[in-house]
Amino acid sequence: MFRATKLSTRFLANNYENILVSRAGAKNAVALIQLNRPKALNALCTPLMQDLSAALTEIENDDTIGCTVITGSERAFAAGADIKEMQPKTFSECVGGNFLADWTAVQNHRKPTIAAVNGFALGGGCELAMMCDIMYAGAKAKFGQPEILLGTIPGAGGTQRLTAAVGKSMSMEMCLTGDMKIGAQQALIAGLVSAVHPVEELVNEAVKTADRIAANSPLILRMCKEAVNKSQELSLTEGLNYERRLFHGTFATEDRKEGMTAFVEKRKAEFKNE
């Protein structure tokens, strides 16, 4: 099992009840967030999502963190949203209280994120993983959108991000049947995840990738992430124009100059986020 270094108090200003946060990576430039409701298989309740949102805000404001890995336990990344919390809610409560508003933190986070999924990633758990920029799966991971079996539909991107990732047919089958049998290898073939690793190596492999990402310019990482995300919203022509404008924009940065100068001089670049 992965062992992270102890977190400095300056990085973690709050004591979180539903997540564990630590530093990882060769230079402690990776934040590792572990969902921590083991008795509920990490079901995503409002307090947990509020903890996650607060932690990501801290990470966003910490210049020493370049990438974040979000994981759960070997048994479950997250087995869905907390049904006991949702069951008594009414339509007016959902609309008036803007239910699921706390679920936007991952999708709005400007730094790169990696989901390391072991075990069950069902319903909201699958949706949370899909909000991350990269998803790795443990060999025994299981994915599904079983909301239809509860008389409802996905509400945090399950019909939208899943379709973008695996296509209409597979997304329809998962959402309309509620099947929870999509394994890691099938998810890899379908394009839902980018790599599959042994269960015990998953988080380490995710941290290794996060470490490589964190070594790049934070400023340029944000621009690159923004360009890729826009590909899901714009036509190809619009997307190409958007990408080119951001590419041109990199030439106004010191990090672009440093990166290319280091390449020409055959040395390692020293980025300063400028």
Which residues are known to be catalytic? 81, 124, 127, 147
Angle at 176 between CA 172 and CA 178, to 5 degrees: 115
DSSP code at position 181: -
**Token pair recorded at residue 132:** 């991350």
Let me know: does 178 contact 146? Beta carbons within 8 Å.
yes
What span, in angstroms and rounded, lies between the C-alpha atoms of 171 and 161?
9
Q: Each residue of 133-147: b (16+ CB within 10 Å) or e?
A: bbbbbbebbbbbbbb
Place of tokens 């030439």: 251
97 DSSP assignment: T
Q: How far is CA 69 from CA 31, 58, 59, 84, in A?
A: 6, 14, 11, 28
Cα(83)–Cα(231) distance, rounded to whole angstroms? 34
SS3 241: helix
| Residue closest to 28 by CA, chosen among 63, 54, 80, 77 | 63
User: Using an 8 Å Cβ cutoff, are 187 and 141 in contact?
Assistant: yes
Task: Give the phi and the psi of residue 206 in degrees, each rounded to 5.
Answer: -65, -40
